[in-house]
Structure 1
Amino acid sequence: MSRGLGVLRGVVILVGGAVALWVSIGVTLNLTIARLQPAPSASWWPVGVTAKVTRGRELLTTAAQQPVTDIDPVRASLRDAALREPVNTQALGTLAALDELRNNTRRARALFRASETVSRRNVLTQFWLIEDAVARGDVAEAIKHYNRAMLVSSEARMTLLPVLAQASSDPAIRKELLPLLAKRPLWWKDYLQQLGTSGADPTAMALALAATRTDIRNPDERGLAQAILRRMVALKDGRGALRAANRLERVPGSTRSIREGDFETADGLVPFAWWMRDEDSIRAFRDTVPDGGMGLRIETSSGASGGVAQQLIGLAAGRYIMQGRAGDVSTDQTARPTINVTCETGKPLSRFSLPSAGPNGRSFRFAFDVPATDCALQWVTIVTAPAVDTNMWLDNLTATR
C-alpha cells in the first residue's frame, strides 16, 4: 500500500476504528422519538425501522468500547425491518455495519453498496466505502467517496479535509484529486483553506491553486491564495510560491521584481505584494503625495519603530539599482528610515538610509548585488528609525538591472 493510501486510511485510524469514527462524527440519522427511546418505540410500532436502526447504532457505539455478544438478535430484527423498507438507506447502512462487526466483510460491502444506491447522503456508508477502497488499494474509488461524503456533510469535511490535505503529497492521490478539484466541488474552498493552514507539500499546494483556477479578483479567493503562498514560503519553497504567484497574476517568467512600487493599487498577492503594518503608533498606508498620485505614507509616534512595509521579490543573480522618490525625511541622519534588502535566508544585501527631503520630495537610488547561490528570493523592507516620530512618504520604488 502506498504512503498516500496509508494516509487516506488514517481517516479511520485517527479515532481508533471505523465504528468509533462513524459514531463520533455524528453520522446517525436525525431520528424522531425512536432515536431517544428505542425500546418504547419498538413496543408501540414493532415493525418500524427507526427504533431498530437506533438500537443497531447503540450496539455499534457499545462495540467501540467493549465486546458485545448480542449482535445476532439485533441484526435479525433490523434485517426484518429493512426488508419491509428496502429503500431505507439508514437501515441498510446499519445492517452493513453490524455485518462488519461480525467480520463478514463481503456481505457488509454488498449492503453498504446497496445503501449508497438508495442514497449517497448516508455518510456512514461513504466512510465505510472509503475505508474499503483504501484497503483494496483503489485510489480512484476512495477519492470518489471522499467527494460524496464532503458534498453532503460539513462534519465529514472537518474529519476528511486534514487527511486529504496530508495525503495529497502522494502523486497517485493527486492524479485522482486534481481533476475533481478542477470541477470546483462544494468543498474546494475548504480544501484550499486547509492547505493554507496545515498543508505540508508545496507542490500539492501549487497544483491545487492551478487546478481550481483561483481567481484573485475575488477577495475570498485572493485570501485563500495568499494563505497558501505564505504557507509555501514558510515551508522553504519560496521559488515555487513565486512561480505560483506569477501564474495567478499572469506574470511571465520565473523572476519577479517589485510590484506596485507606485502604490496606486492594492491588488497583489502578499507576500509578493506590500504587507503594511497598521498599529496605533506605527503604520504605513496609501495616501496622496505632492505630485497628485498615490504613494506610501509612513507614520510613527511614541518612539515606535521597526519594519513598517515589506515585500518578497525574486530577482535573478546580478547587480541592481533600486530607485524611488521620498519626501518629508528628516535632516538628522539617525532619524531617517532605511530600505533594507536581504536574501530570504536572512543574508543582508543592502541597507540604504533615505536622504533628507522636503515636503515635495527628492529622488534617490542605490545599488546592490544578488548572489548566484542561496538567494533565490529577496525581502525588501522599509524600516523606521528608533526613538523618533516619523511622518514621511515614499513613491515610485523600482529595482532594475
Structure 2
Amino acid sequence: MPVLASAAVDPAVREQLRPMLARRPDWLPLFIDQLGRQKQIAPDVLLDVANAIGLRPSSAQDVTFTRQLVSHMVRRGGYTAARALLGIGEQRREQVRNGGFENSDLFPPFDWAYPNSGGWTAAPGHVLDQGTQLELRANYTAGGIAAQQLLVLTPGHYILHYRTGASS
C-alpha cells in the first residue's frame, strides 16, 4: 500500500487507479490512510483521488473518507482543495458555519471544534432556552481556546459578531 500511495502522485498512475477506486475495493480505507501518512502527496492529488472515488454525502463511510481526506489536505496547507471537496462556496455549503450547534460537527476544522484548552471549555447545550447554543466556561486566570472554526474567506470586508447571554 505505501508503494501504491507513493505512485499516486503520478497523473498517469492516477488515471489507471480511477476505475479501481470508483469500484470501492476492500483496500480503499488502507489506501486513504496511507495517502495521509505520506507527506509528499499534495492536496490536489488527494482531491483528485476523492473525485475518482465519487464520495457521496449520504454514505456514512464516505463521510469518514471525506473527513480523513480533508484532514490530510489541511495538514498540508491545502485549504483550497479541502474547500473544493466540501463544496464550500459552491452553494452546497456556507463558508462560515454560523452557530448551528445543534448539528453534528462532521468536517473539522471547517466545522466547529472544541479544543477546550487552557482554562476554557465549550460544549453545545440549551443555555438560553432558544435552541441549542454554545455554553462557554472560563477560568479567568488562564487563557485558552474554547471553540474554533477554520475560515478561508476571499479578500474583502467582513463583520463578525456574537451574542452572549446568561453570563455569570
Structure 1 length normalisation: TM-score?
0.38
Deviation at 1:256, TM superposition (A): 5.0
Q: 1:273 aligns with which of 111, 114, 123?
A: 111
**Greater RCO (CA < 8 Å, at least 6 residues apart):** 2
Deviation at 1:283, TM superposition (A): 2.0
Amino acid at match of 1:179: P
Aligned to 1:252: 90
In structure 1, runs of 5+ residues without a counterpart are 1-160, 328-358, 362-390, 392-401
Decide whether aligned partners of structure 1 residues 303 and 227 sit closer, same or farther in structure 2, where only a CA change above 3 A counts.
farther
Decide whether aligned partners of structure 1 residues 174 and 238 sit closer, same or farther in structure 2, where only a CA change above 3 A counts.
same
Aligned to 1:282: 120
Query: Tell me, what secondary structure is at the counterpart of 2:87?
Result: helix
Which has more strand, going by share of residues? 1
Q: 2:159 aligns with which of 321, 335, 355?
A: 321
Deviation at 1:219, TM superposition (A): 4.7
CA distance in 2, matches of 1:281, 1:324: 20
Decide whether aligned partners of structure 1 residues 319 and 281 sit closer, same or farther in structure 2, where only a CA change above 3 A counts.
closer
CA distance in 2, matches of 1:218, 1:230: 18
Deviation at 1:183, TM superposition (A): 0.6
Q: Is the 8 A contact 2:101 2:132 kept in 1?
A: yes
Aligned to 2:82: 241
Aligned to 1:204: 45
**1:295 and 2:136 equivalent?**
no
CA distance in 2, matches of 1:278, 1:227: 22
Deviation at 1:286, TM superposition (A): 0.6
Deviation at 1:261, TM superposition (A): 1.9
Larger radius of gyration: 1
**1:164 and 2:4 equivalent?**
yes
Give per-residue Cα distances to partners, 1:106-156, cap 9 Å, x unaligned.
Answer: xxxxxxxxxxxxxxxxxxxxxxxxxxxxxxxxxxxxxxxxxxxxxxxxxxx
Query: Tell me, what secondary structure is at the counterpart of 1:274?
Result: coil
Structure 2 length normalisation: TM-score?
0.83
Query: Tell me, what secondary structure is at the counterpart of 1:209?
Result: helix
Give per-residue Cα distances to partners, 1:308-367, cap 9 Å, x unaligned.
Answer: 21111222211112233112xxxxxxxxxxxxxxxxxxxxxxxxxxxxxxx2x7xxxxxx
Aligned to 2:68: 227
Amino acid at match of 2:50: L
Amino acid at match of 2:107: L
Q: 1:178 aligns with which of 5, 9, 18?
A: 18
Which has more helix, going by share of residues? 1
Deviates more, 1:253-262 or 1:270-279: 253-262
Paired-residue identity, %: 29
Query: Tell me, what secondary structure is at the counterpart of 2:47?
Result: helix
In structure 2, runs of 5+ residues without a counterpart are none
Query: Tell me, what secondary structure is at the counterpart of 2:162?
Result: strand
Query: Tell me, what secondary structure is at the counterpart of 1:276?
Result: coil
Where do residues 337-356 of structure 1 align in structure 2 (5 Å cutoff)?
none
RMSD: 2.8
Aligned to 2:101: 263
Q: Is the 8 A contact 1:256 1:315 kept in 2?
A: no
Query: Tell me, what secondary structure is at the counterpart of 2:73?
Result: helix
Equivalent residue pairs, number: 167
Where do residues 130-145 of structure 1 align in structure 2 (5 Å cutoff)?
none
Decide whether aligned partners of structure 1 residues 299 and 315 sit closer, same or farther in structure 2, where only a CA change above 3 A counts.
same
Amino acid at match of 2:25: P
Q: Is the 8 A contact 1:284 1:299 kept in 2?
A: yes
Aligned to 2:143: 305
